[in-house]
Chain A
Amino acid sequence: MKTGGLSKDQIKKISLSAVGVVFLLYVYFTFFLGPLARSRNTMLTAINDKQAKLNASKGEMSKAATLEVQAKAATAKFAALKGLNSEGAPIAWFPPRIKVFFANEQIDKAGARLETSVAFKEPELSGWMKYNWLVEIPQADYAALGKAIADLENAEPLLSITKLTIRAQTEQAQFQTVDFVATNYIQKK
């Protein structure tokens, strides 16, 4: 029996060939060309990434070199500020330092005790702590005290006096009793 010039048998064979072609194309694209293209695309992406990193790295390194030059002053200043504080726990070295400092200013018996120590909220000062000290001077002459406080403020840039109380002594009016709260920034060890 013939349909439009092709026999039933021929139509069957053509259909079979068409199925074969479709199957071949499916196998080819799915199992051969597909993985190859995927692998190539992955590698191309990796090349682009690496190339971008390589290009950026040149800028990164020159930026670091420039920053190194620019930060020279800041680095030196930072090292100097760090060097202001002694090694070890502040409670061990700060009170003796204050005692010696005031003794050198002809003010005896100055004592310092730690009131509080708090960490900073600012991320820039995450490596630093704020120590509040109560300094007590039982007897001082006003002029000597003023000079000593000025010297202390100049000698200790990371220290600031936040509270100051000067009271005249009842027995010896020429002398005063002094208390002050000093806040000091100290790097965490």
Chain B
Amino acid sequence: MALHLNLLHEEISEQRQRQRDPLKIGVMVLIALGAILFLYYMFSAYRTLEVKTRLSGVERDWAKVEPQVTAAQKRSAELNDIIKTTKVLEDYIENRFYWGPFLQKVSRCVAPNTQLTSIDGNVQDDYKGVTVSIEGTAAGREPRAAAEDLRQMLVEQLGQSYKDVKIEFKALEDLDTIVNIGGTNMAMAHYILNVSFNPYSAAKSPTAAATTERPAKQR
């Protein structure tokens, strides 16, 4: 076997050393990593551009629709307001107390021997009812009985249309005056009747009343 002498040992070793230089390897790794990152950046940038294009498209569509939507929303709000206001006004109209029929009923109860001198009526707030004070004179052999007849008639007549009818004498006193009715002298009594009733029993609140049918016009 021939003897082999390596006279360039130091030179080769230096060359190997240079090839295994960590800085050089590091730079190469950095370049490779940089390239990968650059490619990924480009990919991301492309995706971003694509998203931007999509956004422009959606914005264009929205710009076309927006005025119509705004107008529709405005109109909806306006219509909702009208519906709500109309409903409240309807409730108010439907839950009014009509004095016409009441006065008619009172006139039906007044007999020739009774006279009304004043009627003072109040519609209570918040649909609590109606209170009326009726003052007058009654004549007859038993004037107090005539006044009581009027009270009974009022209870009967008002009870046909209203709920919780309550009629009480606030005052009932004999008068010294004698009145001539149909040629007969009769004694007189002065009375004050307190009348209270509830015309809203069917509709306790305006909201509930909205569901009930509107009453027919009075006559």
- Chain A interfacial positions (CB closer than 8 Å to B): 6, 10-11, 13-14, 16-18, 20-21, 24-25, 28, 32-33, 36-37, 39-40, 43-44, 46-47, 50-51, 53-54, 57, 60-61, 63-65, 67-68, 71, 74-75, 77-78, 81, 122, 124-125, 127-128, 142-143, 145-147, 149-151, 153-154, 157-158, 160-168, 173, 180, 185
A21, B30: Cβ atoms under 8 Å? Answer: yes
Chain A residues near B80 (CB, 8 Å)?
A: 67
B90, A77: Cβ atoms under 8 Å? Answer: yes
Chain B residues near A71 (CB, 8 Å)?
A: 79, 82-83
Q: A165-B119, A167-B118 are in contact. Are A153 and B100 (CB under 8 A)?
A: yes
Interface stretch among B50-58, B140-148, B159-167, B186-194?
Answer: B50-58
Q: Is the interface of B mostly helix, strand, loop or mixed?
A: helix
A39, B119: Cβ atoms under 8 Å? Answer: no
Query: How many Å lie between the Cα of A109 and that of B134 in the bound state?
Result: 25
18 other contacts beyond A36-B48, A63-B72, with CB at 8 A cut-off? A14-B26, A17-B22, A32-B41, A36-B44, A40-B47, A40-B51, A43-B48, A54-B62, A67-B75, A68-B75, A75-B79, A149-B99, A154-B217, A158-B89, A161-B99, A164-B99, A168-B115, A168-B116
B118, A165: Cβ atoms under 8 Å? Answer: yes
Query: How many Å lie between the Cα of A162 and that of B120 in the bound state?
Result: 11
Please classify how large the interface on chain B is, using the bins under 10, 10 to 19, 20 to 34, 35 or more.
35 or more
Question: Which residue of B23, B85, B88, B97 is within 8 Å of A13 (Cβ)?
Answer: B23
Query: How many Å lie between the Cα of A153 and that of B47 in the bound state?
Result: 73
Question: Which residue of A78, A143, A168 is within 8 Å of B82 (Cβ)?
Answer: A78
Chain A residues near B21 (CB, 8 Å)?
A: 10, 13
Query: How many Å lie between the Cα of A11 and that of B73 in the bound state?
Result: 71
A and B contact pairs by CB, cutoff 8 A, 8 listed: A17-B23, A17-B25, A17-B29, A33-B40, A50-B61, A74-B79, A124-B88, A143-B107
Q: Is B37 an interface residue (CB 8 A)?
A: yes
Chain A residues near B85 (CB, 8 Å)?
A: 78, 124-125, 127-128
